[in-house]
């Protein structure tokens, strides 16, 4: 399963984008994909595990200031199964 966080931003000069998990800066890897395009950034966490649970921050900054957006990731182990009702025996009679 992949978890995605998205943030939009604006600034002139264009801000630098940094993603953090629990205060530690994240970098692109097989598991972490950070994309920045125009005024939008997406953080994708590939193959989410319990170790990915935590607080995530998108920080944008330029020489005029800094702004942040925060989100949390939790994982639920509940399994939801949808089961169709059994066919009605009366429907099969002619």
Structure confidence by residue, pLDDT tens digits, 7-20: 999 999 999 999 99
CATH of the domain at 56: 2.60.40.10
Is residue 92 in some structural domain? no
Range of the domain at 32: 3-84
Q: Is residue 44 part of a domain?
A: yes
Within a domain: residue 93? no
59: tokens are 């920080």
Q: How many domains, the chain?
A: 1
Asked if residue 69 is part of any domain, the answer here is yes
pLDDT exceeds 80 at position 83: no
pLDDT of residue 77: 72
The CA distance from 94 to 72, in Å, is: 57
Determine, yes or no, domain membership for 28.
Answer: yes
pLDDT at position 93 is 46
| pLDDT value, residue 86 | 62
Note whether residue 89 is domain-resident: no
């Amino acid at each position: 399963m992949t978890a995605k966080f998205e943030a939009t931003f604006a600034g002139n000069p264009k801000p630098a984008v940094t993603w953090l998990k629990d205060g530690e800066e994240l970098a692109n890897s097989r598991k972490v994909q950070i994309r920045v395009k125009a005024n939008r950034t997406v953080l994708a966490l590939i193959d989410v595990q319990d170790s990915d649970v935590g607080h995530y921050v998108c920080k944008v900054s330029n020489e005029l200031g800094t702004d942040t957006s925060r989100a949390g990731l939790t994982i639920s182990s509940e399994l939801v199964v949808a089961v169709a009702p059994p066919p009605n025996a009366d429907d099969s009679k002619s």
